[in-house]
Amino acid sequence: MKNKSVKVLALVMAVLMTAVVFAGCGKPQDPGKTPGTNADGKPSETKTEKELVTLSAFIMQSVSSNFGLQEDWIAEIMRDELKIQIEFAPTGDQVEQKLQAMMAGGELPDIVGFKESKQGIAAVEAGMLLNLDQYKDKMPNIFENDLLKYAVKYSRNELSAGTGGFYIIPSAVGPLGATKDTNWKPMLMWDVYKKAGMPEINTLEDYLPVVKKMQEIYPENEAGEKVYGFSLFSDWDSLTALQISTLSFMYGIDTEYVSPLMEVHVSEHTIGSVLDEDSFYKRALQFYFNANQMGLLDPDSLTQKFDTVQEKYTAGRILFSHFSWMTGQFNSRGSGHVDADEPNGYEFVPAKDFKIYDAPNQTIGRAWSFAISSRTKYPDRAVELMNWLYDTETYKLMSNGPKGVLWDTMENGEPYITEAGWDIIDNNKDMPLPGGKKLTDPTTNWNTLGYTASLNDPKTGYTLSYRYWPTSLTRNPTKLQQEWRDWSGYPTQIAMMKDLGMISPATQAINMVPSAPDDLLMKMNQIGDVVRTNSWKMVFAKDQAEFDALWNDIVTKANGLGMQEVKDYYIEQWALALERVSEYED
């Protein structure tokens, strides 16, 4: 017990040291100069030549393993155009504890990215965030932007701790609906599925015998490494085992946005608990338990991290993916698989009863958000950075690179990726710009931007991201894509989903349920410890009897810790969100 206490104390002290280093540490390149701010920290009217400053950032939602001073092609542009560079604090595991330690130390880095609304609200209540209303004239891309009118309204009403001020800037405003693609969908290794006879799949559990047959056909990859049907990772776990619960989205059930402990059937607008006897979560646990019993589940699933799983997809060591994007580099044109004489790669093979979650048009954004520390030494420069990030031109820049590098426009103004641009994208080459690195590297530090990729630019009528430009969607398909089209009879996967009624449209109310109060949150964390730990034990249980006993243990302990109170809270808040959602829609 003593050793455990020492470890916890060491973590807190380490985080506090990080807070001291990064908190409010915007620093000028020349410490003898001060940017254009008044003594009271309000915008200065004096025009002075800008100097290079370094702003610190702690972005909780970041998926990047890189930290320190940003060095890539967008960093070079920012230094040149804004005279700003960013030093990213480490995130990784335990970001909530790191934030708490920073707040306990009384300071935050210049820029903060919050994963949940409650984190931002707590910072507002503590007086640790800058009220951006006093900087309206310096933030036209936010305050004078019709695209963000509901997001700003929602932030004032729901995220200001009752003050009505504008402290927290929502992100990912725009459509996420299934017009181009979905986040969750079942993907099978195509060539092996063909060799297995392409058996029909009617429901979730039908994947097990199909994938088992595929594994028998393809037990090792070309390097002689063992192939698994399924491979999970645990570093994204919260109150539940996230990679297990995420199968729920195949049936239009949210197990993340309202609460990981709740299941919201988005089309029916009904809500229940993951611990209900008929919950989908229990079904998903049973699915992966059965997979493990059949020798299909990667035994490293409990201990490995996301990056390792992506490497296994790249190596062709996994047969099934539940995310549309989680295929490593195996599906890239440069891999040599998708345009081979016998093309291979991960392709969409849905069960007939799937009703895949279709995210709503996010006029208020999502829970991930940004704010500026009230203790920043350079509020004007931090405000300038946020205004720049919320310019649609910046989104296009960070998504597509500068015009003339990867893309250009036709005479009629329609954008398109050049042949050289596709070569860089398909083969994951470094950007041919000062600073280099990959096209996507700058965005991994933030993991979200002001808008969604499929939002139409009001100035051009085309989406902000190249992925949904007409020329991108109609580009010559790979041999793999053409085989899938011939097999399915549909030009796109979305066309198939829509025609077969495989989509469950969600309401924006899914993003409007407030975080639980602190006393209830404490109970939820205790419940989550039980659920998360026992969930992995259930998946790797030696037999069905142990699986059932572990489930009963979860339910009994969770009920003793206050699960019914949690359930009652979210049932009430879900009903209120459904009533209020019309305030933030046209």
Do 533 and 500 belong to one domain?
yes
Do 569 and 544 belong to one domain?
yes
Total domains in the fold of the chain: 2
Do 337 and 373 belong to one domain?
no
Do 110 and 247 belong to one domain?
no
Residue type, 3: N
Task: Tell me which residue range forms the domain holding 558.
Answer: 184-359+485-580
| Structure confidence by residue, pLDDT tens digits, 145-171 | 999 999 999 999 999 999 999 999 999
Strands (E), 197-258: 253-254
Asked which of 350, 377, 395 is the last residue of a domain, the reply is 395
Angle at 249 between CA 244 and CA 252, to 5 degrees: 145
Whether residue 404 is contained in a domain is answered as no
Do 12 and 154 belong to one domain?
yes
Do 250 and 311 belong to one domain?
yes
Do 158 and 198 belong to one domain?
no
Average pLDDT over residues 520-546: 98
Do 242 and 300 belong to one domain?
yes
Do 279 and 319 belong to one domain?
yes
Q: How confident is the model at residue 581 (pLDDT cuts 50, 70, 90)?
A: very high
State how far the alpha carbon of 215 is from the alpha carbons of 196, 220, 314, 317, in Å: 9, 8, 17, 10
Give me the pLDDT at residue 162, please. Answer: 95
Distance, CA of 451 to CA of 397 (rounded, Å): 13
Average pLDDT over residues 532-538: 98
Whether residue 401 is contained in a domain is answered as no
Higher pLDDT, 182 or 78: 78
Q: How confident is the model at residue 123 (pLDDT cuts 50, 70, 90)?
A: very high
Do 493 and 528 belong to one domain?
yes
Q: How confident is the model at residue 179 (pLDDT cuts 50, 70, 90)?
A: low
Q: How confident is the model at residue 23 (pLDDT cuts 50, 70, 90)?
A: very low
pLDDT at residue 327 above 70? yes
Average pLDDT over residues 254-273: 96
Residue 30's CATH number: 3.40.190.10
The DSSP 8-state label assigned to residue 132 in this structure reads G
Distance, CA of 58 to CA of 52 (rounded, Å): 20
Give me the pLDDT at residue 359, please. Answer: 86
Quote the mean pLDDT of the chain: 90
Q: What are the start-end ranges of the H helices in 51-180?
A: 73-81, 95-104, 117-125, 140-143, 149-158
Q: How confident is the model at residue 221 (pLDDT cuts 50, 70, 90)?
A: very high
Asked which of 345, 378, 395 is the last residue of a domain, the reply is 395
Q: How confident is the model at residue 556 (pLDDT cuts 50, 70, 90)?
A: very high
Whether residue 427 is contained in a domain is answered as no
Whether residue 445 is contained in a domain is answered as no
Do 310 and 391 belong to one domain?
no
Do 196 and 112 belong to one domain?
no
The residue among 304, 320, 358 whose CA lies nearest residue 184 is 358
Give me the pLDDT at residue 24, please. Answer: 45
Pseudo-torsion of CA 248, 503, 480, 475, nearest 10°?
-130
Whether residue 431 is contained in a domain is answered as no
Contacts of 368 (CB under 8 A, 6+ apart): 61, 113, 114, 115, 171, 172, 447, 448
How many residues appear in the chain? 586
